[in-house]
Amino acid sequence: MRAALLLALLAGPALAETKQASGGTLRVLDRLSDKVEDIHLDTGTAGPVGRLTLALDDCRYPEGEPAGSIAHLTIIDGENAVFKGWMLAASPALNALDHPRFDVWLLQCDAPAAEAQPEAEGG
């Protein structure tokens, strides 16, 4: 059921034109220390956070709507992949990392400034 819902949500943005982002921002909560950290990664790169390694495999957003970002992540704890799949910025709990210590979610994929903050109309 969960997988079907995820596919349905991913199909919606796929119908709209999506743009490939150069990177994205993830938020990480360490439950033991209550520390929240925002991590920026370029698409195709990985970075360490505590004992985790976060890899941003792909990051996309619907044209003109960066808040609808979706990202494919691989999260490794030690040598074991504990998450590999798509996360949606608009619905972080839909396909979340199941880890006893860390919560990780997508904030948004990078978008050009003109798309991230549309210009005000008028003169």
Q: Is residue 118 one of the residues assigned to a domain?
A: no
Has residue 14 been placed in a domain? yes
120 within a domain of the structure (yes/no): no
Q: What local confidence, expressed as pLDDT, does residue 87 receive? A: 96
Domain membership flag for residue 68: yes
Question: SS in 3 state form for 6-73?
Answer: HHHHHHHHHHCCEEECCEEEEEEEECCCCEEEEEEEECCEEEEECCEEEEEEEEEEECCCHHHCEEEE
Domains of the chain: total: 1
Q: Is the pTM of this model over 0.85?
A: no
State pLDDT tens for residues 28-79.
999 999 999 999 999 999 999 999 999 999 999 998 888 899 999 999 999 9
- The answer to whether position 101 is within a domain reads yes
The Cα-based distances of 79 to 51, 52, 82 in angstroms read 10, 9, 9
Give the confidence band of 115 by pLDDT, cuts at 50, 70, 90.
low
For CA atoms 113, 115, 118, 119, the dihedral sign is: positive
In a domain, 51, yes or no: yes
Q: Is 117 within the bounds of a domain?
A: no
What distance in Å separates the CA atoms of residue 2 and residue 31, rounded to the nearest whole number?
25
Residue ranges making up the domain that contains 77 = 2-112
- For the chain, the average pLDDT equals 85
Q: At 17, is the pLDDT very low, low, confident or very high (cuts 50, 70, 90)?
A: confident
Let me know if residue 65 belongs to a domain. yes
